[in-house]
Every structure is written in structure tokens, then in C-alpha cells.
Amino acid sequence: MGGCHAKPLTHDADTSPPRAAPATPPPGCATPATPGKKHWAVSPFFPFSTPSPSPAHHLFGGSAASPRKSSPARPGAAAGSAPTTPARRLLRLPFPPPSPAKHIRAALARRHGPPRPSIPEEVGGEGEGCGGCRGLDKGFGFNKGFAAKYDMGDEVGRGHFGYTCAATVKKGARKGESFAVKVIPKAKMTTSIAIEDVRREVKILKALAGNKNLVQFYDAYEDNENVYIVMELCEGGELLDRILSRGGKYSEDDAKAVLVQILNVVAFVTFKEWFIEISSRSANIMILLSVVWNLAISVALNFLFTSKDENAHLKAIDFGLSDFVKPDERLNDIVGSAYYIAPEVLHRCYSTEADVIHGSEITMTLNCHWTFLYSDLSKLILFLIFTESCSEGQLYRRLTVDELFYLKAQFSLLEPDRNGCITLDNIRMALTREATDAMKESRVQEILVSLSVLQYRRMDFQEFCAAAVSVHQLEALDRWEQHARSAYDHFEKDGNRAIVIDELASELGLSPSVPLHVVLQDWIRHTDGKLSFLGFVKLLHGMSSRSL
Ligand SMILES: Nc1ncnc2c1ncn2[C@@H]1O[C@H](COP(=O)(O)OP(=O)(O)OP(=O)(O)O)[C@@H](O)[C@H]1O
Ligand SMILES: [Ca+2]
Ligand SMILES: [Ca+2]
């Protein structure tokens, strides 16, 4: 076990120097064995200068097209040369995002880095076992016994601090099952920041479970030498590789398919972080930053395909800060002002201590942060997600971006399960947690009773939106009539069945004193006895005896 499968070192002169080999490489691992399977020196790192727009092109407003430039491109710089798409228009940023090229280059160089050290067979106590960093607490409280449970296989990738291998379960019910294990040597955790980064990464992975475009986290282990993060094995390779293998050529549709998945994660994590972590004020702003930053800028490196299949899902795999925040680097060298504007950042003098901010400062920081995210990125996210995932004219598609944003956040607060559905229990918990005293006395029970149908089924986001939509609000929309008509057409296709006036009256709870045939005659279409458009619209209002 712990055999050497390290990828060879091919070092691009243009990139940062190769990292020093570990002090004691295991036998047989000292020399890279075969020539590199890729030759990055002759490949463009990010060949996005093709006429077809790539996901990154949209994300970066064209800056990724020239990765070798040292300064970031101006926002919308390419706008004059190509027709402006809605996505590009939405993402014309107020500030230039920093170029991702430096990070991509460094990451490519690392892939061909030195061989990895071995995994100890024997497991020990909590790690003081690494040299050169006494005094640092390297105990994470993770499980012990990694080596007893998993057989390590081939290395599948490597990064700054560690390497990732395929591994199989040795025994038990899951015997033979394959996972990916990211091994982070404790010897590389030479500062408290590095240690905190690992802690945070695991925390984020745990917290973000349940999105189809996020790698599934299973467990974290540790021994004297290493931390082991066990997660789903994505066998389809990195997005970057696929982009390169296509020569960077993506049709609008293909690019959209990729971008939608990426933004699905961005939307998921930002909503979740913002509304759960941040609102509880125990927030660590850098978590938010790291997630958004990693996803938006290093997308091509940190997204893997689940399989080699053309239509394989993309999954975000890396939630560490280490890609971008090194203890010895100041954040203002790295982070674009539009992304994170803590008070310290505004003064352009801060280091990684700036990551815990409380009270009013949080508000200020996030206001700035969200001015950007909310106004630009979220529009694009919602535009794409909702045009992508809704094929028919349901009413909730007619919500404004702001309303969808709000509803998505509310929905996340209910903590949907992995399939993106909520149960009665989720709602019960949220109500118990959030209800005011006055509400607890009167409304909670009532609300739960009204939702009793959820005892037998779950509610997805579409239904949630439909339930939350106020027809009165929708009526204020310019194209309300048109929206209502398309919703009716949808209903007409598979829901509209013949109804008699008495049934309708009982559905509406009308009292016997109401002259039904006079009041309801327009509600039913005489040709086939089905609900008419007028009836449909009125029904949306939940018309009662009183309003009649
Ligand atoms: N779940 C996984 N399935 C398959 N391969 C993976 C998985 N996780 C990571 N890898 C491979 O390992 C590489 C390094 O992983 P990752 O980016 O998480 O490591 P890191 O040490 O955090 O690196 P970085 O320097 O980017 O922070 C990835 O680029 C990928 O090729
Ligand atoms: Ca990475
Ligand atoms: Ca990382």
C-alpha cells in the first residue's frame, strides 16, 4: 500500500518552480518514472480566444482570453468584437476580475510535481509527528484507522499541499467500493493558517453536501502523518482537460451546459453560506470568499467530470483557500476588489486575519459583496438555471429575478435533502427554530395543518415557488395577462378536466345563498365543461364567497 503512482514532473519554465521533494520519499518513489502524458509547455493554458464563447469567457468578461497578460483585462473588453449575449451583458463587472492565469499555470506545474510520501500502516495519536512545526496543534479530531479501512490505489491528481488517490474499501458492507482520497501531509501544515485551511475545507465539504454538482464528501481521517479526505471518485477528468481536448471550442449550447452546472454550485453555495452561515453571525467571510473565488476563477481546475461520458455531470471538488491565499501573500495581491470588500480591504491593508469580521462590519462587507454578486452574478445564475430547468410555462417562471433569488434563499433555509426536496419535518424544524413567541402560540400549528399533505410527499423548488407566489403581486407585472395565459395553456395540456358548477362551488366553499349559475357561468367553458381562462385566473385568486 502507499505505492508510488506519482505523475512525472514536466516543468514549464514559465511557471513557478517545482516544489521541493518531501524529505523522505518512500522506496521506489524518488524518481518520476515515465514521460508526462501531457506537455503543457506547448499547450495554451486556456485557449479561449476562439470565436465561440466559452464558459470562462462569460465569467471573466473576456479576460481569460489572454491568460498570459499580467494585468487583468478590462471588463467587457471583447464586447466590441463579438455580438453581445445576455450573459455577457449581465456580467459586465464594475471592477476588473483578476486574471486566473497565474493560478492555472501554477496548478498545471504542480500536477507534475514531486512523488508523494507513503501512507503509514500504523495509525497513531494526533499528529505531532511532523518535523519543523512543533507547537502547532495538528489534531483535527477526525477518525483514526484510515489504513485499516482503505487500500490506496493510483494517484489521480495532485495539488498544492497534497495528492489524491483512488482507494477501495477493504472490508465490511462497502468492501471493494472505490473512493477518492485526498491526502494532505501534516508536514506541509507549517502554519496555523495552513491547518485552519484544512479544517475549513473539510467543514465546507461537509456543509455543502447535497448538490448534484458538488463532490460527495464521505469522511475525514487522520494519523500522525496525514489528513485523509474521503470523497466520491470523479473519473471523468478535469474540466480543463476536456476544454483543452476540444481545442477550446464550445458551441453556445455546450458552453451553457457547462456554465449552468458551475453556476448551480455557485448559486447553491452562495445562498447557503450567505443565509445560513452569515446570518447566524458566526460567519467566516473567507469561507464565502473561498467558495465563490474558487468556483468563479479556478473553475476549470476544480471541476471534475464524474465519468468519461460526454454528458457526465460536473462536480466541484476543491474548497480549500490554499489555492489563492498563502500565509505569506497579502490578499490584496490576489483578490479582486469587486469580490470581497472588507473594511480592511477597502484600506488595502490586511492579511488573512481579516477573515473574521463581526457585527456592522459584516453588513458593510456583505453589502459590497452582494452589490456585485446579487446584481450581476445572481441574475445570470437565475436566468440560466431557470431558463434551463423549466421547460414549460409554469407561473413561477414569471417571477422576477429578485423574487426568485429570495425564494431560493428561503428554500435553502428549509434545508432540502439531497434531491432538492423539502419534507414536512424540514418545515416543522424551521418553524420551531424561527417562529416568534406570538407565532408559536397561534400560527405554527395552523401552518403545519395546512401543509399536512406533505406527510406523504416531498416538495420541490418549483412547488415551493408556486405555493409562495402571490397572484396579486404577479398581476402587477407588465405582461401578466400573457403569463397567466401561458400558465393556463400549460394547465390545459394535462390538468384541465370537465367540472360542473356544483363541484366548483364546493371547491370554492361558496355558500348556498350565492346564485351559482349567475356568478360562475363564465368560469366554465360551455363547449367542453372545462375550466375557462377566466375561471382559472379567478381560481388563482382563491375567490371566496365574500369576494364574490
Ligand atoms: N474526488 C476526486 N476524484 C478524482 N480526482 C480528484 C478528486 N479530488 C481531487 N482530484 C484530483 O486531484 C487534484 C488535486 O485535488 P485538489 O485540487 O482538491 O487538491 P489540493 O491539494 O487542494 O490542490 P490545490 O493546490 O488546487 O489547492 C485535482 O485537480 C484532481 O485532478
Ligand atoms: Ca484545486
Ligand atoms: Ca485546494
In-domain check, residue 14:
no
> Residue whose CA is closest, atom 20 of ligand 1?
159
What is the rounded CA–CA span in Å between residue 496 and residue 489? 9
Element (H, E) at 350: none
Q: How many angstroms is it from 22 CA to the middle of ligand 3?
A: 19
Q: How many angstroms is it from 419 CA to the middle of ligand 2?
A: 26
Q: How many angstroms is it from 488 CA to the middle of ligand 1?
A: 48
Q: Which CA distances in Å does 110 have to 8, 117, 195, 327?
A: 10, 15, 20, 18
Q: Strands, DSSP E only, in 94-231?
A: 150-158, 163-169, 178-185, 217-222, 226-231
Q: Are residues 349 and 403 in the same domain?
A: no
What is the rounded CA–CA span in Å between residue 225 and residue 133? 13
In-domain check, residue 128:
no
H-only helix segments in 22-67: 55-60
**Residue 326 CB less than 6 A away from ligand 1:** no
In-domain check, residue 138:
no
Q: Are residues 198 and 262 in the same domain?
A: no
Contact 291, 277 (CB under 8 A): no
Dihedral of the CA atoms 249, 251, 255, 260 (nearest 10)?
-170
What is the rounded CA–CA span in Å between residue 241 and residue 253? 19
**Residue 93 CB less than 6 A away from ligand 1:** no
Element (H, E) at 403: helix 401-413
Q: Which of 339, 363, 387 is at the close of a domain?
A: 363
Domain that holds residue 212: 146-232
Q: Are residues 376 and 449 in the same domain?
A: yes
In-domain check, residue 155:
yes
- The three-point CA angle 427-411-380 to 5° equals 180
Mutate to test the pocket of ligand 1, among 304, 313, 322 (most ligand atoms within 8 A of CB): 304
In-domain check, residue 103:
no
Q: 3-state DSSP call for residue 76?
A: coil
Q: Are residues 248 and 301 in the same domain?
A: yes
Q: Which CA distances in Å does 267 have to 124, 195, 274, 373, 384?
A: 40, 28, 10, 10, 11
In-domain check, residue 35:
no
**HSE-up of 73 (CA within 13 Å, CB side)?**
21
Q: How far does CA 328 lie from the centroid of its chain?
A: 28
pLDDT score at 159: 80
**Residue 160 CB less than 6 A away from ligand 1:** yes
pLDDT score at 134: 63
**Residue 255 CB less than 6 A away from ligand 1:** no
Q: How many angstroms is it from 321 CA to the middle of ligand 3?
A: 6
Kindly give, in sequence order, each residue whose CB lies less than 8 Å from that of residue 433, ignoring residues fewer than 6 positions away. Answer: none
Q: Are residues 347 and 409 in the same domain?
A: no
What is the rounded CA–CA span in Å between residue 467 and residue 64? 42
Backbone angles phi, psi at 239, to 5 degrees: -55, -40
Q: Which CA distances in Å does 93 have to 318, 371, 372?
A: 25, 11, 8
Q: Which atom, in ligand 1's list, is nearest to the CA of 161?
A: 21
**Residue 156 CB less than 6 A away from ligand 1:** yes
Q: Are residues 347 and 245 in the same domain?
A: yes
Q: Which atom, in ligand 1's list, is nearest to the CA of 162?
A: 21
Q: Which CA distances in Å does 377 have to 6, 94, 173, 181, 384?
A: 38, 12, 44, 32, 11
Q: Are residues 358 and 458 in the same domain?
A: no
**HSE-up of 408 (CA within 13 Å, CB side)?**
25
Backbone angles phi, psi at 532, to 5 degrees: -85, 170
Q: Report the CATH number at residue 182.
A: 3.30.200.20
**Residue 227 CB less than 6 A away from ligand 1:** no
| 0.90 surpassed by complex ipTM | yes
User: pLDDT 10s digit of each residue in the chain, 548 long?
Assistant: 333 333 333 333 333 333 333 333 333 333 333 333 333 222 222 222 222 222 233 323 333 333 333 333 333 333 333 333 333 333 333 333 344 445 555 655 655 555 556 666 644 444 444 444 567 889 999 999 999 999 999 999 888 778 999 999 999 999 999 999 999 999 989 888 788 888 878 887 887 777 788 899 999 999 999 999 999 999 998 887 787 777 666 676 777 788 778 777 766 665 554 433 433 333 344 444 444 444 444 455 678 999 999 889 988 887 654 343 333 333 333 332 223 233 333 333 333 333 333 333 333 333 333 333 333 333 333 333 343 333 333 444 555 656 666 777 778 877 788 778 888 888 888 777 766 666 666 666 766 776 776 777 788 777 777 666 666 666 776 667 777 787 787 778 777 888 888 887 877 777 778 888 888 888 888 898 888 988 887 776 654 434 44
Q: Report the CATH number at residue 315.
A: 1.10.510.10
Q: 3-state DSSP call for residue 354?
A: helix
191: DSSP letter: S
In-domain check, residue 225:
yes
Q: 3-state DSSP call for residue 28?
A: coil
**Residue 320 CB less than 6 A away from ligand 1:** yes
What is the rounded CA–CA span in Å between residue 384 and residue 392? 15
Strand-by-strand arrangement of the 178-185 sheet: 150-158, 163-169, 178-185, 226-231, 217-222
**Residue 273 CB less than 6 A away from ligand 1:** no
Q: Which atom, in ligand 1's list, is nearest to the CA of 234?
A: 3
Backbone angles phi, psi at 389, to 5 degrees: -90, -10
Secondary structure percentages of the chain, helix, strand, coil, to 5 = 45, 10, 45
Q: Which of 363, 390, 411 is at the close of a domain?
A: 363
Q: Are residues 353 and 418 in the same domain?
A: no
Q: How many angstroms is it from 160 CA to the middle of ligand 3?
A: 7
- Grid-cell match 471588463, residue found: 75
Q: Which CA distances in Å does 451 have to 233, 419, 423, 428, 446?
A: 39, 20, 10, 10, 9
Q: Are residues 404 and 349 in the same domain?
A: no
What is the rounded CA–CA span in Å between residue 69 and residue 155? 33
pTM of the model: 0.47
**HSE-up of 217 (CA within 13 Å, CB side)?**
20
B/e letters for 281-314, b = 16+ CB within 10 Å, e = fewer, are eebbbbbbbbbbbbbbbbbbbbbbbbeeeeebeb
- Would you say 206 is a known binding-site residue? no
- The three-point CA angle 384-388-392 to 5° equals 130
CB-count burial class (<10 Å; 0-12, 13-18, 19+) for 453: exposed
Q: Which atom, in ligand 1's list, is nearest to the CA of 315?
A: 1
Q: Are residues 273 and 352 in the same domain?
A: yes
What is the rounded CA–CA span in Å between residue 39 and residue 8? 11
**Residue 236 CB less than 6 A away from ligand 1:** no
Structural domain count, the chain: 3
Contact 258, 236 (CB under 8 A): no
What is the rounded CA–CA span in Å between residue 106 and residue 111? 9
Contact 250, 239 (CB under 8 A): no
Q: How many angstroms is it from 490 CA to the middle of ligand 3?
A: 46
Q: Are residues 226 and 339 in the same domain?
A: no
- Sign of the C-alpha dihedral, residues 208, 213, 219, 220? negative
> Residue whose CA is closest, atom 13 of ligand 1?
157
Q: Which of 216, 232, 248 is at the close of a domain?
A: 232
Question: What's the N-to-C CA distance of the chain in angstroms?
Answer: 78
Q: Are residues 392 and 346 in the same domain?
A: no
In-domain check, residue 403:
yes
Q: 3-state DSSP call for residue 422?
A: strand
Q: How many angstroms is it from 242 CA to the middle of ligand 1?
A: 16
**Residue 159 CB less than 6 A away from ligand 1:** yes
**Residue 201 CB less than 6 A away from ligand 1:** no
